[in-house]
Structure 1
């Protein structure tokens, strides 16, 4: 398993174990969003990393975007509540990875915007992890 997949698994497991997240979205946390998905839900978005090798240790700074989606008559507050719950569940956590070692993980950005359809709110939660590759 790649280090990136291992990090995504850590994030997924943390979200699935968080009672506030489960209360808001149930099991609707997707890597690929199914057609006609029920709102609200969370999906994995863009990801990137920059190598950060030092002192003979291979490492990386990896960023994953989590997208929070709600549809409540154009109101943003349900999406804000979901994005805040994701931030709380993932900010500054410790976790074991199946591949690599998580040095730190922080939420570096939370943003909620209107979707062009006028009824969907889109929350963006950016998570950055420092990882030692093994």
Structure 2
């Protein structure tokens, strides 16, 4: 399994373990029938981050939070909890990684006019085996 997939799994497992308000509703992709609030794995990207004889990536991932509450403050609290769960966390059992840094937290109205949408963006440096590099 490549680093990106491993990192997504690490994030999902950490949120499930540390943010009980989500009731383990942390998905790679949600469906319209999933109850609120929930979290989904949003976009991710990486850029090469090689050093000396170590091949690596600077990986950025987004966690999307969703709720249909009439109060954005509740989702802001949830976004803060997700950020706190990920900030400084690293799971090096399956990948050589630096601790996550939270680089963005944002809460906004969703264009559907009903939902509120939160974004937590994290970044980490990860070593790769060379097979993943461009």
TM-score (norm 1): 0.91
Q: Deviations over 1:100-122 (max 9, x none)?
A: 30123111000001112222110
Counterpart of 1:81 in 2: which secondary structure?
Answer: helix
**Two-structure CA RMSD over aligned residues (Å):** 1.2
Query: Is 2:40 aligned against 1:71?
Result: no
8 A Cα contact 2:58 2:123, kept in partner? yes
8 A Cα contact 1:104 1:131, kept in partner? no
8 A Cα contact 1:109 1:127, kept in partner? yes
In the aligned structure 2, how far is the partner of 1:68 from the partner of 1:81?
11
2:113 alignment counterpart: 118
Query: Is 2:25 aligned against 1:11?
Result: no
Structure 1 residue 35: deviation in Å? 3.0
TM-score (norm 2): 0.91
1:56 to 41, 53, 74: 53
Q: Deviations over 1:42-89 (max 9, x none)?
A: 00000000011110100010000000111112x201110110010000
Matched positions, count = 129
Structure 1 residue 97: deviation in Å? 4.1
1:46 alignment counterpart: 43
Counterpart of 2:119 in 1: which secondary structure?
Answer: strand
Q: Which runs of 5+ in 2 are unaligned?
A: 130-134
Segments of 4+ moved more than 4 angstroms: none
